[in-house]
Amino acid sequence: MATESMQELIGKVVRRVRLPVEAGKIEEFARAIKDDSPRYLDSDAAHEEGFSDIPAPLTFSVALAHHPVGDSSARSVAEICGLDRSRVLHGESTWEYHRTPVAGGVLEGETKIADIVTKEGRRGGEMILVTAETVLKDEAGIPVITLRSTSIQTEAAVSG
Amino acid sequence: MTVWSTKPEGNGSALEVGSLGPAFEVGPITRTDIVRYAGAGGDFNPLHHDDEYARSKGFPGMFAMGMFQAGLLSRVPTDWFGLRHVRTLSLRFHAQVWPGETLRLGGTVVELFEEDEVSCAKASLEATNTEGERKVTGFVIAEVEATH
């Protein structure tokens, strides 16, 4: 996609997202990030920490990638914007927590493109930075986590 | 004089500018670790599990997705301040993490402040490898206790 037409995506909703918050998935995720805290494994331990059920780890929201809405192929924001995922790197991510999500609910939201910026890379080629924002809300429509993420398509690899 | 500390759900430590958070060393990171995380987190970009594909795209081989080391690093603010007390987590990715590397994870208090009558700490966070190469930096803002 040409960068001029990419600019038209700024301010637009590019995908809907869905994140079931489930105890089994939290356990799997906690093991994958090597956090053996009992709060992620056992609801009694979660209750002892004051949670109504097993809480989600801080970065658990990434698992929304498992649940594409309205599209049979899971695509990242970068791919939706037409970037080449073989040269897209993760620039930064920010999470604002309005409360801690716990197992038993489903969070939903929309991803909006906040900004698209082109920069000249060190080798004179073009880098494209896409920043997207998603507000994950609970069944009552109340925001639970606000996500903000920047992906960077690097210059094309120098050949030879 | 105000005495700052984490809330009880954190690690109970006293806080002042410069206080260090819990430190972890994780590694050597294996391809299996990265694949396990791919399954847990849902990122099936072949750069992160297919050595041949990664090489065809100009990389030395497969490497971890940024969110893997973000997840590892997130244990620092979680254990330090208590999961429920973390308000903001912000991370920037500087360099790929490769199979075989060992990561050092930690944080340092940079500011203690009151906002809308809530006592908060801001701490820098960092993941480096054992050579000191910065992989991830960022910060956390968490609710803490201040006794006046």
Task: Find the range with the poorest average confidence among A24-38, A72-86, B82-96, B132-146.
Answer: A72-86
Average pLDDT over residues B38-55: 97
List the structure tokens of A50.
């004051």
Predicted pLDDT at A2: 59
List the structure tokens of B36.
């396990």
Q: Report yes or no: A101 at the B interface, CB cutoff 8 Å.
A: no
In chain A, which residues have their Cβ closer than 8 Å to the Cβ of B69? Answer: none
Which of A100, A95, A103, A98 is CA-nearest to residue A62?
Answer: A95
Query: Which of B139 and A73 is assigned the larger pLDDT?
Result: B139
Contact B45, A68 (CB under 8 A): no
Q: Report yes or no: B45 at the A interface, CB cutoff 8 Å.
A: yes
In chain A, which residues have their Cβ closer than 8 Å to the Cβ of B93? Answer: 89-92
Question: Which of the four pLDDT bands, split at 50, 70 and 90, describes residue A6?
Answer: confident
Residue B135 clears pLDDT 70, i.e. is over it: yes
A contact residues 10-49, partner B, Cβ 8 Å cutoff: 25, 28-29, 31-35, 37, 39, 49
* Predicted TM-score of the model (pTM): 0.95
Contact A139, A106 (CB under 8 A): yes
In chain A, which residues have their Cβ closer than 8 Å to the Cβ of B9? Answer: 49-50
Query: What is the 3-class SS of B8-47, one letter each residue?
Result: CCCCCCEECCCCECCCEEECCCCHHHHHHHHHHHCCCCHH
Predicted pLDDT at A159: 42
The beta-strand segments (E) located in chain A are 13-20, 88-97, 106-120, 126-137, 143-153
In chain A, which residues have their Cβ closer than 8 Å to the Cβ of B71? Answer: 29, 32-33, 35, 57, 59, 62
Output the CA–CA distances (angstroms, integers) from residue B15 to B80, B120, B147, in the order listed.
Answer: 10, 11, 12
Residue A1 clears pLDDT 90, i.e. is over it: no
Indicate whether this complex's ipTM tops 0.90.
Answer: yes
Average pLDDT over residues A111-120: 94
Q: Is the Cα dihedral A154, A155, A158, A159 positive or negative?
A: positive
Predicted pLDDT at A73: 59
One-letter amino acid identity for B106? G
Residue B113 clears pLDDT 50, i.e. is over it: yes
Tens digits of residue pLDDT in B123-134: 999 999 999 999
Q: Helix H segments across A55-103?
A: 77-80
Predicted pLDDT at B65: 97
Put simply, the answer to whether A94 touches B88 (Cβ < 8 Å) is: yes
Q: Which residue of A has its CA nearest to B57?
A: A86
Predicted pLDDT at A160: 34
Decide the pairing of beta strands A143-153 and A88-97. antiparallel
Put simply, the answer to whether B83 touches A39 (Cβ < 8 Å) is: yes
Question: Which of the four pLDDT bands, split at 50, 70 and 90, describes residue A75?
Answer: confident
Substitution target in B24, B48, B62, B83 with the highest count of A β-carbons within 10 Å is: B83
Average pLDDT over residues B40-45: 95
CB atoms < 10 A from the CB of A110, how many? 16
**Average pLDDT, rounded, for chain A:** 92
**Average pLDDT, rounded, for chain B:** 97
DSSP state, A155? Answer: P
List the structure tokens of B111.
């500011």
Predicted pLDDT at A76: 84
B contact residues 99-128, partner A, Cβ 8 Å cutoff: none
List the structure tokens of B141.
């803002």
Share of chain A above pLDDT 70, in %: 92
